[in-house]
Chain A
């Protein structure tokens, strides 16, 4: 069964600092991988996704993520965080093909301090 681990429940960074959110997945083959962001009162918004090909994926809002098969990781990064990035971030894994049931991690809440 597929699963996702986000080891950091809460992260605080200063505005302008770099950010890395960790995600480890468990799946028998190469999965589909996603990062979503959820702001209070908002739905989940897709930041980026990995299906195949280049392991460094660019997303919206200046985010990127790198798929590392050897480490079963898909960490999210941003070089310079803005106050508006404060939100909860979810990593998710899906099985290739089929109907794409997505399994989410427990989320990392990002706080940005001025």
Chain B
């Protein structure tokens, strides 16, 4: 059973650069979520996909952030013109469809972003 994978695990970039992260969900999961976790905080919801459709975006997701899930499988999260405040752990999770069991989210290991 392969879980949720994320790539890269770590990313160091300079302020103003663009970065892109990838998430591969569990293969049969049609829901995919992105969260951001800063030091000393719990994960905060960023956005959610049902198959390829992006159905909700948090107000935390500024115009510099864009997420895609073009074929309803893997997803990418891009941050343009990075700022030091973007430094955080970016977590991806996936789940099955509706229903009690479908609401359990499985998390990947995260991508830790450091903006210098």
Contacts and interface: CB of A to CB of B under 8 A. Distances in A.
Pairing of A with B: yes
Interface of A: 4, 32, 36, 41-46, 49, 51-52, 90, 92, 94, 97, 99-107
Contact of A43 (B42, B50, B55, B91): B91
Contacts of A43: 3-4, 91, 107-110
B85 interface: no
Contacts of B103: 32, 51, 94, 100
Nearest to B105: A102
Contacts of A45: 107
A45 B43 CA distance: 13
Contacts of A104: 42-44
Interface string B55-66: 110000000000
Given A43-B110, A102-B105, A106-B41, 5 more contacts: A43-B107, A45-B107, A97-B98, A100-B102, A106-B42
Contact of A51 (B42, B100, B106, B107): B100
Nearest to A9: B40
B95 interface: yes
Contacts of A102: 33, 45, 105
A94 B42 CA distance: 14
Contact of A107 (B42, B100, B102): B42
Nearest to B40: A106
A46 B104 contact: yes
Interface in B70-116: 91, 93, 95, 98, 100, 102-110
Nearest to B98: A97
B29 interface: no
21 contacts: A4-B42, A43-B4, A43-B109, A44-B43, A44-B107, A45-B107, A46-B106, A49-B104, A51-B100, A51-B103, A97-B98, A99-B55, A99-B56, A100-B95, A100-B105, A101-B33, A101-B48, A104-B43, A105-B42, A106-B41, A107-B42
B69 interface: no
Contacts of B93: 44
